[in-house]
Amino acid sequence: MKPFRTLTRAAAALGLAFGLSSVMAQGVIKIGEINSYKAQPAFLDPYKKGMELAVDEINAAGGVNGRKLQLIIRDDNAPPGDAVRAAEELISREQVDVLSGAFLSHIGLALTDFSKQKKFFFLAGEPLTDKIVWQNGNKYTFRLRASTYMQAAMLVPEAAKLKKKRWAVVYPNYEYGQSAVATFKQLLKAAQPDVEFVAEQAPALGKVDAGAVAQALADAKPDAIFNVLFGADLAKFVREGNTRGLFQGREVVSLLTGEPEYLDPLKDETPNGWIVTGYPWNGINTPEHKAFLAGYQKKFNDYPRLGSVVGYTMIQALAAGIKKAGSTETEKLVTAFTGLTMDSPFGKVSFRPQDHQSTMGAFVGKTKNDNGKGIMVDYRYLDGAAFQPSNDEVKKLRPAD
Task: Flag whether pLDDT at 21 surpasses 80.
Answer: no
The pLDDT of residue 401: 79
| Model confidence band, residue 384 (pLDDT cutoffs 50, 70, 90) | very high
Enter the DSSP assignment of 388.
S
Helix boundaries (H) for 220-305? 231-244, 260-263, 287-300
Q: HSE of 127 in the Cβ direction (CA atoms, 13 Å)?
A: 33
For residue 256, give the H/E element and its range: strand 251-258
The DSSP symbol for 229 reads -
Angle between helices 148-161 and 175-191 (to 10 degrees): 40
For 387-399, how does the pLDDT look when each residue is reduced to its tens digit (9 = 90+)? Answer: 999 989 999 999 8
User: Are residues 205 and 172 in contact, defined by beta-carbon separation less than 8 angstroms?
Assistant: yes
Any idea what the Cα angle at residue 53 is, between residues 51 and 57, rounded to 5°?
Answer: 120
Chain segment 120-138, per-residue pLDDT in tens = 999 999 999 999 999 999 9
Sign of CA dihedral 222, 223, 229, 235: positive
Is residue 202 scored above 80 in pLDDT?
yes
Measured CA to CA, the distance from residue 311 to residue 320 in angstroms comes to: 14
Query: 216-230 pLDDT, tens per residue?
Result: 999 999 999 999 999
Looking at 66-186, which runs of residues are DSSP E strands?
68-75, 98-101, 122-124, 141-143, 166-170
Q: Does the pLDDT at position 35 exceed 90?
A: yes
Q: Is the confidence at residue 199, as pLDDT, over 90?
A: yes
Whole-angstrom Cα distance, residue 298 to residue 175? 37
In the predicted structure, residue 18 carries a pLDDT above the cut 60: no
Mean pLDDT within 64-84 = 97
d(CA 118, CA 257): 36
Q: In sequence order, what E strands does 323-400 have? A: 341-344, 347-350, 362-369, 374-382
pLDDT of 26 reads 59
> What is the helix (H) or strand (E) element at residue 200, kind and residue range?
strand 196-201
pLDDT at 6 over 90: no
Q: Is the pLDDT of residue 23 over 90?
A: no
Average pLDDT, the chain: 93
| Tally of helices (H runs) and strands (E runs) in the chain | 13, 14
Asked if residue 211 lies in contact with residue 240, where contact means CB atoms within 8 angstroms, the answer is: yes
- Dihedral angle over CA of 35, 41, 43, 48, nearest 10: 60
Amino acid type, 170: V
CB-based contact 104:78 (threshold 8 Å): yes
**With contact defined as beta carbons under 8 Å apart, do 300 and 311 qualify?**
no
Question: Are 350 and 144 within 8 A, CB to CB?
Answer: no
Q: What is the rounded (10 degree) CA torsion for 253, 254, 256, 259?
A: -80
**Domains along the chain?**
22-146+284-361 (3.40.50.2300), 149-281+363-387 (3.40.50.2300)
What 3-state DSSP class applies to 97? Answer: coil
Q: Which among 236, 240, 227, 233 has a CA at the least distance from the CA of 367? A: 227
